[in-house]
Amino acid sequence: MTPVETRALDRLAAARRLLVALDFDGTLSPLQNDPMRSRMLPAARTAVEALAGRPCTWVALVSGRSLKDLRLIAEHRDDSAVLLAGSHGAEFWTPAAGVIAPDDDPADIVLRDRLRAATEQATRHLPGVWIEPKTFGFGVHTRRASRSDAQAANDAADAIVATAAGHWRRRTGRDIVEYAFRDEGKDSAVAHLRQLVHADAVLFAGDDVTDEDALRSLGETDVGVHVGPVGTTAATVLMPGIDEFARFLASLAARRRDRACDESPA
């Protein structure tokens, strides 16, 4: 373990109330050509479950996936202690409240369905392109497409959305462009979860561009981790892959096992 990793573990292990907020795809689960086949690696699942059972430690999955799809790929049950933030923080699940979702204007839903259908029609001739339905918009997946077909799909979706919904938020990730009529990001998701559990320190980990909002929002008592190949990142700890990150989480769980804890917020 590197000195940077050791210092990060020391800081997180000493936190009075710790939130462990984790992206899913690419962070706990290998990226898949079929996104609905994503599942946590066994070592990652073991570490997540161990952390969720530690005193004054809360684990949350923070994903761009819709809450419904996140629960499916995470194999998340109603008796789980793991918190969920789906759709980049527009939807939540907690053990106490269950699903927490906004009441949206029906006109937004109608427009979402119309633009998604138009994008599906405009890209149906492009091999390897898949349009993912999302609660507040849709995503254009191009991992299995050629570079030229991926560009054509993204150009078509950009034109459709710009014409009818220029105010929608556009996000890019690894081989995906997402469009949404809500503006929440993973930074707001982490802020909400921090307040919910009264955490005085946060570990956030992710692998993609969409995770940088949350990484940039972290404070001095927090730790940001980037998993996988490194581009530009605000993370202070770099992990080469999911296996290494799972070991980091397992070490954190071990350090918090016997910790004395006052469950009441400060």
pLDDT at residue 263 above 70?
no
Length in residues, the chain: 266
- CA 101 – CA 86 distance, rounded (Å): 10
What's the chain's average pLDDT? 94
Which of these, 200, 3, 208, lies nearest to 88 by C-alpha position? 208
* pLDDT exceeds 90 at position 129: yes
pLDDT > 70: percent of the chain: 98
CATH level 2 (architecture), domain 3-102+184-255: 3-Layer(aba) Sandwich (3.40)
The CATH class, in words, for 112-180 is alpha beta
Check whether 117 has a pLDDT greater than 90: yes
Q: What was the pLDDT predicted at 264?
A: 57
pLDDT confidence band for 1 (50 / 70 / 90)? confident
Mean pLDDT (whole number) for 13-35:
95
The amino acid at residue 230 is V
- C-beta of residue 178 within 8 angstroms of C-beta of residue 185: no
Average pLDDT over residues 108-121: 97
Q: What's the token pair of residue 223?
A: 């730790």
Contact 207, 27 (CB under 8 A): yes
Asked if 43 and 239 count as a contact pair (C-beta separation under 8 A), the reply is no
Q: How far apart are CA 231 and CA 167, in angstroms?
A: 28
- Residue 76 is classified by DSSP as -
Helix ranges (DSSP H) in the chain: 3-13, 42-52, 67-73, 106-123, 147-164, 186-197, 212-217, 242-255
Q: Kindly tell me if the per-residue pLDDT of 152 is higher than 70.
A: yes
Residues 25-40 have pLDDT tens digits of 999 999 998 889 999 9
Q: Is the pLDDT of residue 211 over 50?
A: yes
Per-residue pLDDT, 104: 85
Q: Nearest to residue 143, comparing CAs of 31, 7, 9?
A: 31
Q: Tell me the per-residue pLDDT of 47-62, one tens digit each, with 9 for 90 and over.
A: 999 999 999 999 999 9
Q: For residues 81 and 94, what is the distance between their CA atoms, to the nearest angstrom? A: 8
Mean pLDDT of 7-23: 96
Least confident interval from 11-20, 140-149, 165-174, 254-263? 254-263
The domain locations on the chain are: 3-102+184-255, 112-180
The predicted structure's pLDDT at residue 230: 82
Do 240 and 226 touch, CB atoms closer than 8 A?
no
What confidence tier does 262 reach under pLDDT thresholds 50, 70, 90? Answer: low
pLDDT on residue 266: 46
Q: What is the pLDDT of residue 265?
A: 52
**In Å, what is the CA distance from 232 to each residue of 94, 162, 203?**
32, 28, 19
